[in-house]
Structure 1
Amino acid sequence: MTDDLKERIATELAGVRRRSLTYTDADDNFLTCQHSPIMSPLVWDLAHVGNYEELWVLREVGGITPLRPEIDDLYDAFKTPRKDRPSLPILGPAEARRYISGVRGRVLDVLDAADLSAPDPLRRDGFVFGLVIQHEHQHDETMLATLQLSGESGLLPEVPHPPAPVVDAAAEVHVPAGPFLMGTDEHPWAYDNERPVHRVDLPAYWIDRYPVTNGRYLEFIESGGYGDPRWWTPEGWEWRMGTGAFAPLFWSRDSSGWLRTRFGRVEALPPAEPVQHVCWYEADAYARWAGRRLPTEAEWEKACGWDAGADRARRHPWGDAPPAAELANLAQRRAGPSPVGAFPAGVSPYGVEQMIGDVWEWTSSFFTGYPGFSSFPYREYSEVFFGRDYRVLRGGSWATHPTAIRTTFRNWDYPIRRQIFSGFRCARSASPGEA
């Protein structure tokens, strides 16, 4: 088992690095340019993932003398705000590639010698390697968001989406009242914020079978939703007025109708795809307009993975099997969300679809720790973000790698963020007779 696990880890390390190098296969000026003040130069992300590997695998587990201690502060995300990174003496593209390659060679040596059955929680089940693999995949998704903001095209394969089936995009699913187990103590690479597993008892509710589509969101726009403060929280209305937003990010309109820009290409808006690039305020306003609300993250997780018949949680909506192409739109197989109803085989036990992949889904919940939470392996991964500044997103997007998503995975961001591949679905409380 240890040898099989080591082989799997080596394969995952190679795969994520190919992805990082693909997204940074551009000229030096493009890589060192800051395409948005809320994003890092791509070359910073590239060296940062190598520095993170050096800190956790080489130094913490391997006991190896630091290779480049003088750059630690440059690649510490808490010490260097994104807006300041272009002015720092960060590594250039060629030097960054040499650095991460040198780190990776030593990481494979540490992996070869590691005892993955050791009681040390960093080594046990290869946790530290899962930590750096997931971290790099998360930064690669951030790189894709930067590429979208830059208008860069041609970096992603244009694999056709499945045909758009005829479905009721407004369909709802009833989730009966009752308890379920939220979080996990079983997934060996789960982050601290997914732990510990705990019992949550929810009243009955309804949740959208599919994510809200472009077509449904367009109804909100054309009914004057962006101009009516009734649908917005005070903070949301302040954001709307301050930004002048009138539609999701990257949407535009001309004489032919509504358009969207995707990696530098202007296209007709596809009505059957999940809406993407909306912030929490926009999602919440739509839900209010529709007479609904955003689901709590507990409601989202129960609808996604709880199997009441088996009295257990599934790792994914369809079961514990890893994601496959017919189950979910993940891993950049396609450069955007697929039409709703395209993955019926990926349905959850309650009958909810496309909860994994396509778009990150905003929930109503603030990002906090679960009862009994304990930071591991460092406070800055989760704990320092707890509070009312961040809202939780669930489910991953088309750009998320399967290694970095599961029913219990928790993402979080500021409610103003739209550059991420974010969408949502709505929920509503059940009436007393519907429990």
Structure 2
Amino acid sequence: MTESPAPPHAGDGEALRGRALAALLTARERTTLLTDSVDDHDLTAQHSPLMSPLVWDLAHIGNQEELWLLRGVAGREAMRPEIDGLYDAFEHPRATRPSLPLLAPGEARSYALEVRGRALDVLESAPLGDGPALVRSGFAFGMIAQHEQQHDETMLITHQLRSGPAALTAPEPPRATDAPTLPAEVLVPGGTFTMGTSAEPWALDNERPAHQRDVPGFVIDTAPVTCGAYRAFIEDGGYGERRWWAPEGWAMVREHELGAPLFWYRDAGQWLRRRFGVTEPVPDDEPVLHVSWYEADAYARWAGRRLPTEAEWEKAARHDPASGRSRRYPWGDEDPTPERANLGQRHLRPAPAGAYPAGRAPCGAGQLIGDVWEWTASDFLPYPGFAPFPYREYSQVFFGPEHKVLRGGSFAVDTVACRGTFRNWDLPVRRQIFSGFRTARDL
């Protein structure tokens, strides 16, 4: 059992340089749209205590780029050492960041722009082939592109939480042409497969190393659970039945008087939701969104099923029984395309369940990449042989039972920060994130 070999560009210095440049430019284009689409008041306001002001994210993006590419790779002196503490995510929790002496919107833009110009100069001359570990295969540049795209997703969450008219628009995702003929669930046979990666050049530390994992056979949903299916749980009194809930989840439901996913409300006998400033009927065929781990777990119990483990999810998404290899993506080793997955904030909503037939895995499950982050049953823990790199605060400090793993990415995630091995994690109470789920069962 093996994983797919490294991508063709992994060892080619000039190809890596081009890939890094494209990733950095794509990320900055998205950052610019998210911050230029609102006025300075919206940039500096805190739209929820769960999130930073948008202007903090903007300057933080620039500061991390300076720390790792200008100081780390190029060894240059700090441009603005006095602001390092302001934009240290571990020094100041999100709820307190508006009280800090943050850079004003114009200053933040100028700082991020100046850092980017210098970083592109560094990229032109940096040794990307076999140099030090930080730059080998262009890792530092890929890490920074992923970091920026992760904050672009965070800023999109803030856009969803802000009040007022829509600031962003996007075309509708493709329809699901063969959804009525798809089976509700598919079989994943038992056996060993290769989990994680040692070959993906820009994989982050928690994805490493590749290792063998034996997974008994199981059955998993063909598509994520839909709003229509979740509505049946609501209408059957699911939020009022303690037996479906983990104790902490039941306490959350009672304390906050929850009765539906975040942003849903009932009016004149119809379920509506607010999505990026627009009120619309809840679409029954779309994957449910903005549910916590506790809600996903309760639904699965109500349905007589369970959430898949992280290993089960990855085996369903990557394992190719014909070759015995673990693919980079469900469809193969090729990078995502618009025909295979809903990524990159292209549509600003999940596609209907059953869409993207070109993106399905060998087992038959679809939409494993993009659309919604999928909660799994697993705690966020290190793989055997894990080593923190290049800093322990990215993953290591979060390991433990407090955080649950999400897999697959959402419509808000860029291709550079989404692959079959990518691991996300969050607290099980989180609902503002673009999270959904699918269920599984034992054979």
TM-score tier, shorter chain, comes to over 0.9
Matched residue, 2:72? 60
What SS class does the counterpart of residue 24 from structure 1 fall into?
helix
Residues 1:320 and 2:300 are matched in the alignment:
no
Residues 1:2 and 2:13 are matched in the alignment:
yes
Q: What one-letter code is carried by the residue in structure 2 that aligns with 1:106? A: R
Q: What one-letter code is carried by the residue in structure 2 that aligns with 1:401? A: D
Q: What one-letter code is carried by the residue in structure 2 that aligns with 1:100? A: A
What SS class does the counterpart of residue 167 from structure 1 fall into?
helix
Deviation at 1:134, TM superposition (A): 0.1
User: What does residue range 173-252 of structure 1 map to in structure 2 within 5 Å?
Assistant: 173-252=186-265
Assess if the C-alpha contact under 8 Å between 1:260 and 1:267 holds in 2.
Answer: yes
Q: How many residues are treated as equivalent by the alignment?
A: 430
Residues 1:22 and 2:30 are matched in the alignment:
no
Q: What one-letter code is carried by the residue in structure 1 that aligns with 2:32? A: L
Decide whether aligned partners of structure 1 residues 150 and 195 sit closer, same or farther in structure 2, where only a CA change above 3 A counts.
Answer: same
Matched residue, 2:346? 333
Distance in 1 (alpha carbons) for counterparts of 2:173 and 2:129? 42
Deviation at 1:118, TM superposition (A): 2.9
Distance in 2 (alpha carbons) for counterparts of 1:315 and 1:152? 40
Deviation at 1:167, TM superposition (A): 2.3
Q: What one-letter code is carried by the residue in structure 2 that aligns with 1:362? A: W
Deviation at 1:153, TM superposition (A): 4.6
Which residue, out of 310, 330, 333, partners 2:323?
310
Deviation at 1:163, TM superposition (A): 2.4
Q: What one-letter code is carried by the residue in structure 2 that aligns with 1:222? A: E
Assess if the C-alpha contact under 8 Å between 1:169 and 1:213 holds in 2.
Answer: no
Residues 1:46 and 2:58 are matched in the alignment:
yes
Give unmatched runs, 5+ long, in structure 2.
1-11
Deviation at 1:15, TM superposition (A): 1.3
Identical aligned residues as a percent: 59
**Residues 153-162 or 262-271, more deviating:** 153-162
Q: Deviations over 1:226-255 (max 9, x none)?
A: 000000011110011111110000001111
Matched residue, 2:299? 286
Assess if the C-alpha contact under 8 Å between 1:169 and 1:212 holds in 2.
Answer: no
What SS class does the counterpart of residue 77 from structure 1 fall into?
coil
Deviation at 1:152, TM superposition (A): 5.1
TM-score by length of 1: 0.97
Distance in 2 (alpha carbons) for counterparts of 1:74 and 1:384? 20
Q: What one-letter code is carried by the residue in structure 2 that aligns with 1:19? A: R
Hey, which bits of structure 1, 4+ residues long, moved more than 4 A? none
Matched residue, 1:410? 423
Distance in 2 (alpha carbons) for counterparts of 1:38 and 1:332? 21
Distance in 2 (alpha carbons) for counterparts of 1:220 and 1:112? 55
How large is the RMSD of aligned CA atoms in angstroms? 1.1
Q: Deviations over 1:295-342 (max 9, x none)?
A: 000000000011121111111100111111111111111110010111
Deviation at 1:207, TM superposition (A): 0.4
Q: What one-letter code is carried by the residue in structure 2 that aligns with 1:113? A: S
Q: What one-letter code is carried by the residue in structure 1 that aligns with 2:415? A: P
Q: Deviations over 1:371-430 (max 9, x none)?
A: 010000000000000001100000000111011000100000000000000000000111
Decide whether aligned partners of structure 1 residues 311 and 164 sit closer, same or farther in structure 2, where only a CA change above 3 A counts.
Answer: closer
Matched residue, 1:129? 141
Q: Deviations over 1:8-40 (max 9, x none)?
A: 211221111111011011211110000000100
Deviation at 1:169, TM superposition (A): 7.4
Distance in 2 (alpha carbons) for counterparts of 1:277 and 1:304? 22
Deviation at 1:264, TM superposition (A): 1.0
Q: What one-letter code is carried by the residue in structure 2 that aligns with 1:248? A: P
Assess if the C-alpha contact under 8 Å between 1:156 and 1:332 holds in 2.
Answer: no
Distance in 1 (alpha carbons) for counterparts of 2:304 and 2:163? 36
Q: Deviations over 1:93-149 (max 9, x none)?
A: 000000011111110111111011133111111000000000000000000000001
Which residue, out of 111, 132, 135, partners 2:123?
111
Matched residue, 2:362? 349
Matched residue, 1:298? 311
Distance in 1 (alpha carbons) for counterparts of 2:168 and 2:339? 20
Q: Deviations over 1:160-183 (max 9, x none)?
A: 222243426771111111000000
Distance in 2 (alpha carbons) for counterparts of 1:233 and 1:9? 44
What SS class does the counterpart of residue 180 from structure 2 fall into?
coil
